[in-house]
Amino acid sequence: MTVPRGAAALVTLLVATRASPTRSAPRPSGAAAPSKKPAPKRPKKQRRRSGSVGGAETHHTPSLPLLRARITCPDDMVAVAGRLCVDRYESSLVEVETHEPLSPYYPPSPKLLAWSWEHWTKAREQEPEGSLARTMPLPPLSALQTGGPWSWKAMSWPHATPSGYVTGEQAKLACERAGKRLCSEAEWVTACRGQRQTRFPYGSSFVAGACNVFREDHPAHVLHGAFSVGLTDPRLNLITVEDRPLLRDTGKSPRCASEWGDDAIFDMVGNLDEWIDDAEGTFVGGFYARATRSGCDARVRDHPSSYFDYSTGVRCCRDPL
């Protein structure tokens, strides 16, 4: 597979900058020097990194008012707050015309996929003999994805591997091609908090293991020996720890359910980060190895909408039928 010209993946870590000190005013001649007091320590600005064990900022987004209106939603979506429909599960991407599933381990773009395949095939060959990074093969690709042109859209299915490696721009298109749209932040957090509007889908206090977040290890650490190395490697979401997959199939964390009436939305916290409708680039919820106990308030705003790594996925919203 050849790499199309101009295809590249941008995986950047933003480093906080420090403000330059201001100059003090000159002291009048003969005036006594003021006593020196130690300058107050400024709190360090935290570096937030997508695809790392940390990274989600602490904040609180107000929920939308809950309406008592009865609304009708498509079968794969849940009625939320009497005002909108939200996908029951994180998205699995399929080809637009044939509905053939696309590999969830590669970017949903022919150009970026070609780059990923060639780059990581070469990188794997350069790893030390006998290491996991050398012996673990890349996920296979279908004839569709290695052949002619194809496109993608979002589908919401249970017991499926959710699609990672999605940019914010691709997430927006995936929802639009499915007749849906990205959620606003207020819509997303309202849906995540459930009808009781608690901080977590299941309640007001963090419960370890209820959602697939804050896992015992990090896939880049297991595969490459470092948390911030190889974040576009297509093998990361296949990593297991003690024979348990770090990324779970949709709906496989039954306690991580945001209840709405007799229905529920699954995995809004953990599993994969989910892009929302924000031109500057924001994803929410936290992914499986992110060290966050912020629940529905977890979000990352450090990357443009062109960014992707293994932890970035999508879930769609739409107006009622």
For 7-66, what is each residue's pLDDT tens digit? 433 333 332 332 333 323 333 333 333 343 444 443 333 333 334 445 566 678 999 999
Pairing verdict, β 316-318 and 283-284: unpaired
Q: Please give the pLDDT value at position 47.
A: 33
pLDDT in tens, 241-251: 999 999 999 99
| Predicted pLDDT at 59 | 78
Q: Is CATH 3.40.1350 correct for 77-318?
A: no
List the beta bridge partners of residue 80.
84
What are the domain boundaries of the chain? 77-318
Q: Quote the pTM value.
A: 0.83
pLDDT band at 183 (very low <50, low <70, confident <90, very high): very high
pLDDT > 70 in the chain, percent: 82
Amino acid at 28: P
Per-residue confidence (pLDDT) for residue 56, from 0 to 100: 67
CA distance from start to end of the chain:
43
Residue with tokens 């995936």: 174
The per-residue pLDDT for range 268-289, each reduced to its tens digit, is 999 999 999 999 999 999 999 9
Task: Over range 116-133, report the average pLDDT.
Answer: 98
- The separation between CA 51 and the C-alpha centre of its own chain, rounded to angstroms, equals 8
Q: Which of 176, 162, 168 is CA-nearest to residue 109? A: 168
Partners of residue 57 on adjacent β-strands: 299
**∠ CA(288), CA(289), CA(292), 5° rounding?**
90
* Burial of residue 148, with CB atoms counted within 10 A of its CB: 0-12 exposed, 13-18 middle, 19 or more buried: exposed
Specify the higher pLDDT residue, 9 or 232. Answer: 232
Helix (H/G/I), strand (E/B), else coil: 162: coil
In this structure, what token pair is assigned to residue 164?
Answer: 């990672």
Report pLDDT for 55: 58
Q: What is the separation of C-alpha 55 from the centre of its chain, rounded to a whole number of angstroms?
A: 11
Q: What pLDDT, on the 0 to 100 scale, is given for residue 148?
A: 81
Q: Do 50 and 302 form a contact (C-beta atoms < 8 A)?
A: yes
Residue 125 main-chain phi, psi, to 5 deg? -65, -20
Measuring CA to CA, which residue among 307, 216, 295, 284 is closest to residue 13?
307
| pLDDT-derived band at 260, boundaries 50, 70, 90 | very high
> In the structure, what pLDDT confidence band is assigned to residue 223 with cuts at 50, 70 and 90?
very high
CB 64 within 8 A of CB 83: yes
Indicate whether 96 pLDDT > 80: yes
Mean pLDDT of all residues in the chain?
Answer: 86
